[in-house]
Structure 1
Amino acid sequence: MAKAVLKRENIKLNVPLSTMEEGIRYTGGILVDNGYVDAGYVDKMLEREGMASTFMGNSLAIPHGTEDAKANVLETGISVVTVPEGIDFGSGNIAKILIGIAGKNNEHLEILSNIAIVCSEEENIDKILNATSEDEIMDLFSEVS
């Protein structure tokens, strides 16, 4: 039986993070701690960020591993972290929502697409940032899992 892609334990609200690296390590650490990826995946997330920014606009960054990080992925999963004061993802791009993704095979493509749909709505970005419980995030992303 596969794990749920998004579980309550994968969501952390109002986390005080100050650098992009700290944000990526924290977001990836949730995936490691909950058994979706091995520890090497976090380094692949940082490596990927070095190639091209995962900042998507709309206060959203979606850190994920490089193409060759698939070997580090045990189960498809996502983590959601809100950082109200924001983290600079370079060039003044401030991310307040970090969604870490690990996908088995090509499952991450469908997840990315669903996240993009949810996060393209300004009101959903506000709902995520103003969420006071993990359940509110779970409800918004219920289509994703």
Structure 2
Amino acid sequence: MSTILNDQNIVLKAEVNNKEEAIRLTGKLLVENGYVEPDYVEKMLEREELTSTYMGNFVAIPHGTEDAKKSVKESGIVIIQVPGGVEFAPGSEVKLLIGIAGKGDEHLELLSKIAIVCSAEENVMGIVNASSKEEIMAFFEDVE
């Protein structure tokens, strides 16, 4: 996980006005860090229309549709804190955006590691309230 997650992939204290803005910000970071082509962002929005990427525990994992795989250059993960929260659906507040792009089936391994960390609300709140990128990376370092 440490080879995929680095401090350039983390945004602290972001403010977004709505779900679309949150997904676009997540996609923009994936594009800027060289993981995906720009058209992947639209596929992330398409995915959200099909099925919400809200996972519970204040976490959303925006990612592209199945046909977006051709736009993935290499596997990557980005993490965005949204301490003020953003509503993904009525009653579904998101404070942690985890954008993923997986080459081949690599995203499945990424998802399982994220699920392990984010299954505990105390971990999620620790990430949301972290004051440094290093603090956030520490949550993911020892996940197998």
TM-score between the two structures when normalised by the length of structure 2: 0.95
Q: Is the 8 A contact 1:111 1:144 kept in 2?
A: no
Q: Which residue of 2 aligns with 1:32?
A: 31
| Secondary structure of the structure 2 residue equivalent to 1:89 | strand
* Structure 2: distance between partners of 1:127 and 1:17: 20
Identity over the aligned pairs, expressed in percent?
A: 56
Q: CA-to-partner distance for each residue in 1:14-40, whole Å, 9 max, x for gaps?
A: 101111000000011111001000100
- Give the gaps of 5 or more residues in structure 2: none
Which portions of structure 1, spanning 4 or more consecutive aligned residues, are displaced by more than 2 angstroms? none
* Structure 2: distance between partners of 1:128 and 1:52: 25
Given the alignment of the two structures, is residue 74 of structure 1 paired with residue 38 of structure 2, yes or no? no
Aligned length: 143
* Structure 2: distance between partners of 1:123 and 1:144: 16
* Structure 2: distance between partners of 1:67 and 1:121: 28
The one-letter code matched in structure 2 to 1:70 is: K
Q: Is the 8 A contact 2:116 2:143 kept in 1?
A: no
Q: Which residue of 2 aligns with 1:106?
A: 105
Q: Which residue of 2 aligns with 1:92?
A: 91
* Structure 2: distance between partners of 1:134 and 1:50: 31
Trace 1:1-145 onto structure 2 (pairs within 5 A): 4-143=3-142
| Secondary structure of the structure 1 residue equivalent to 2:27 | helix
| Secondary structure of the structure 1 residue equivalent to 2:78 | strand
The one-letter code matched in structure 1 to 2:11 is: K
TM-score between the two structures when normalised by the length of structure 1: 0.95
Task: Give the Å deviation of 1:144.
Answer: 5.6
